[in-house]
Amino acid sequence: MDHAEIEKGYVDLDPIFGPGSVAVIGATDKPGKVGHAIMLNYIDVGFSGRIYPVNLNAGSTIMGYRAYRSVLDIGEDIDLAVIAVPADSVPDVLDECGRAHVRGVVVVSGGFAEVGATELQASIVEVAKRYGMPMIGPNCLGVMDVRARNDTLFLPTFKIDRPKVGGVSFVSQSGSVGSTTLDLISGAGFGLSRFISYGNAATIDETDILRYLMHDVHTQVIVLYVEGVKRGRAFIDVAREVTSMKPVVVLKAGTTQAGAAAARSHTAALAGSDEAYDAVFRQYGFVRANDTDELLDFAKIFDTQPLATGSRVAVITNGGGHGILATDALYHNGLELARLSAKARRRLRGAMPGTVNIALPLDIGGDADAQRFEDALDAVGGEPTVDALIVIVLFQTPGADEKVVESIMNFGARREKPMVVVSVGGSYTRSHAAVMESSGIPVYRSASAAARSIAALVRYARYRERVRAEAEAAAVASKH
């Protein structure tokens, strides 16, 4: 354990995420090379720190920056070194980084334990530990910090969308799952704080990263894709802590025997028994997603909505059939349809046409306009018997337009309960959905996805409440 870890109680990854200076080792002027893409990304995203390209065979400059043959030649303090050289050169390059007092490294190079080169991987672990350098990788994409404009990814900016700043940090053992999911986040209705692809986890693993993010003030929600956990007991210890503070949405791969074997050949992960992982996830309040769609759906609701205090959900719709589908989806996911008080019924009866049946799910009619949506939201949303709302808007109807969007956003701005929108359709619908999501209202393309997301919110809220109650009981018992 190095000094920073002793002082903070966890591995200090600040130099890796928010560096003031970066050395790109393996930088090159040649397009198509990994070192070229990393340099170009730092330039494109507007990194404000100092950039030092390093290449043993470099000329005087690389991409307009003064070039160096070794990190030892720079003569300045370096926070982060991004290493993109052939695998057999990494040990020597790492040793140079250690002698140059580099504070953290990301090794994007592959060709280590994932292909059976365990001795080579052991050699870089020894070097990193000898110098006390936190090391992400090898065999990874590295990190992205949206606020700091730090981007070690070797994926060109024109090929993958960079998300807006937000409160979700995404941790991925797989570079491919990480990159494709990262590309989708920009259109998923929430923002990103940090992205971490950690590959073989030779020194810094998922447990270290979770513990770091637990203390990170910019991270409100943690999203985790994992193929296997290196240190089971340590992972359980941090799981107990982190989920008492922040929601963790997890997608675990290798759930079948064949999938576990694939995971071992991918990132040298010990996939283990899925039943054992599931038991840990349930016990410690992890929100488990079954695929990347659910991963994004759950991240969106946790990032934008308050926790639900109960499982009673009100459904408001301008299409009766979709209201029935939503009702079924609630009960399939362990939720229930809320009930209206007599006061709310009277209020709705005075605001709705006689053709509207005053009951939940509330079908306000295919001719509903912005005022009718507003009246329904005001009457139903304030009900103490309603814990969450699903608002279904079919923008294909005559009265559903940008004014309906405005009514929903106005209500959402003053909400105290979770609210999601379901809207199904083509380009006209998607344009309105994008506006709502930009204001922090999650929009789903099916009632099933909406119900699953609310159910995840409810399960985590109940877990947090149980943890709080147990802590209070323990505190009382300790006084007697």
Q: How many domains does the chain have?
A: 3
Q: How far apart are CA 370 and CA 334, in angstroms?
A: 31
381 shares its domain with 280: no
Tens of pLDDT, residue by residue over 347-368, are 999 999 999 999 999 999 999 9
Tens of pLDDT, residue by residue over 431-449, are 999 999 999 999 999 999 9
343 shares its domain with 453: yes
58 shares its domain with 204: no
Q: Are 267 and 174 in contact (CB under 8 A)?
A: yes
CATH code for the domain of 51 = 3.40.50.720
Residue 140 CB partners (closer than 8 Å, separation 6+): 106, 107, 108, 175, 197, 198, 199, 200
128 shares its domain with 25: yes
1 has a pLDDT exceeding 60: no
235 shares its domain with 316: no
* pTM for this predicted structure: 0.90
324 shares its domain with 286: no
As a whole number of Å, the CA-based R_g of the chain is 25
281 shares its domain with 333: no
pLDDT for the residue 265 = 42
Mean pLDDT score across all residues of the chain = 91
Distance of CA 110 to the CA centre of its chain: 24
CATH code for the domain of 292 = 3.40.50.261
Q: How far apart are CA 470 and CA 127, in angstroms?
A: 44
Tens of pLDDT, residue by residue over 375-426, are 999 999 999 999 999 999 999 999 999 999 999 999 999 878 999 999 999 9
Segments forming the whole domain that contains residue 83:
1-139
283 shares its domain with 311: no
In a domain, 25, yes or no: yes
In a domain, 478, yes or no: no
Name the residue type at position 219.
Answer: T
Summarize the confidence of residues 95-114 as an average pLDDT.
Answer: 97
22 has a pLDDT exceeding 50: yes
**Secondary structure E strands in 292-375:** 312-317, 336-337, 362-363
291 shares its domain with 384: no
Residues facing 171 on adjacent strands? 196, 224
50 shares its domain with 17: yes
Q: Give the 3-state secondary structure of residue 108.
A: coil
Q: How far apart are CA 138 and CA 394, in angstroms?
A: 48
